Amino acid sequence: MGETMIDRAAPHDSLMTTLSALVKYRTLLRKLVLKDLKLKYRGSALGFLWSLVNPVVMIAVYSLAFRYILHNRTEGFVFLVLIGILAWTFFSNAAMMSTGAIADSGSLLKSVFFPRAILPIGTVLFNLTQYLLMAVVLIPVMLIAFRLPPAAPMLAYPVFVALQVIFTIGVALILATATTFFRDVRHLLEVALAVLFWTTPILYELSQVPERFRLALLASPVASYVVAYKDILFYRRWPEPAVWTFAVAYAIIAFAIGAALLLAFEDRFAEQT
């Protein structure tokens, strides 16, 4: 009987069964991402162009403020800020959206079974799609504008994007799970993101920071990814070992904690929401 029957009362979800369930439900994952994209751009005349407006305006504002008010003369400031803003927007939007991924899906959770991890992962992939769309348009424009020819270190770009995706999925799983039990997570996250924005070298370069703070800043969760993108795309050099280490370590740690939390608590989602 043990072979052909599953006991619903027995703990059954391991990481492997969840991963294989995710593979089985990949159509759902894709459709959730498409749904969010359609909902975002449907009915607006400019559609996807609006997504480009936001980073372009932000970069314009920061450039004006830094260049003409603070007299910052960093070379390639516009491109550097763009790289940082895009990567940061991906992370912070995904994190904010993920808090509601499970907590706001109560009726769905209560009436259909599907792997719960799909919801937070879907929000990350939706934000990844937006990030990639913007990057595909804006980064080549900048490379041309700054006359930067392709270089070997640019090959590392997809690797760091992948690491940031894994890291962000881990964070999303943590936040989605935590929010179902504590709604305050959203407010805490807003505060945390405001702090993280300035501890991440987005509007400044790590090289402009006194040497003794550099490692501490690099240890800020999103910093290694942003520094790596700037190294790869603008400075056209391989990221330093410390950058690799932090990027890989944060991806593994966040994903491990997120997966463990989700597996431990997913049975209670339908009752909590």
Partner 1 sequence: MPIVEARDLSKRFILRHNPSGSLKVHFLGLFHRSHQEQREEFWALRDVSLRIGRGESIGLIGRNGSGKSTLLKLIAAIHTPTSGQLLVERDARIGTMIELGVGFHPELTGAENVGLNAAIYGLSQQEIEILYPEIVKYSGLAHFMDVPLKNYSSGMHMRLGFAIAANLDPDLLLLDEVFAVGDIDFQQQCIRTLQTFQSQGKTIIFVSHSPDAIRAICRRVCVLDRGRLMYDGDVDNGLATYEHMMKAPAAAGPAPPRQIQTALDLTDEELDTAWHRTAIGGQWRASGEWQLDFLRRQGLRPNHYVLDVGCGSLSGARVMLPFMDQHCYWGYEKDRRLFEAGVKIELVRANVRPERGHLIVNDWFDLSESPHQFAFAIANGFWSRLSLNAIARCVPAVLKKLEPGGRFYATWVENRDPLNFEPLVHQAGATTYPDMEPFHYPFEVLAGVCGALGARVERVPDLTHPRGESVMLISRADDA
The contacts of residue 19 (CB under 8 Å, 6+ apart) are none
Quote the crossing angle between the two packed helices 118-145 and 26-41, to the nearest 10°: 60
CB of 105 to partner 1, least distance (A): 8
Distance between CA atoms of residues 165 and 159, nearest Å: 10
CA–CA separation, 105 and 123 (whole Å): 13
The residue range among 28-36, 59-67, 90-98, 227-235 that interacts with partner 1, by the rule CB under 8 A, is 28-36
Stretch that binds partner 1, among 27-35, 64-72, 87-95, 232-240 (CB under 8 A): 27-35
- What dihedral angle (degrees, nearest 10) is formed by the CA atoms of 188, 190, 195, 196? 100
Among the listed residues 20, 31, 151, 216, the single contact to partner 1 using CB under 8 A:
31
Of 50, 181, 198, 213, the one binding partner 1 by CB under 8 A:
181
Nearest distance from C-beta of residue 145 to partner 1, angstroms: 38
189 interacts with partner 1 by CB under 8 A: no
CA atoms within 13 A on the CB side of 159: 14
By CB under 8 A, residue 182 contacts partner 1? yes
Q: How many chain residues bind partner 1 (CB under 8 A)?
A: 36
Amino acid identity of 129?
T
Q: Quick check: 184 binds partner 1 (CB under 8 A)? A: yes
The answer to whether the beta carbons of residues 97 and 214 sit under 8 Å apart is: no
113 touches partner 1 by CB under 8 A: yes
Give the residues lining the site for partner 1 (CB under 8 A): 1, 3-9, 24-28, 30-32, 35, 38-39, 42, 107-114, 181-184, 267-268, 270-271
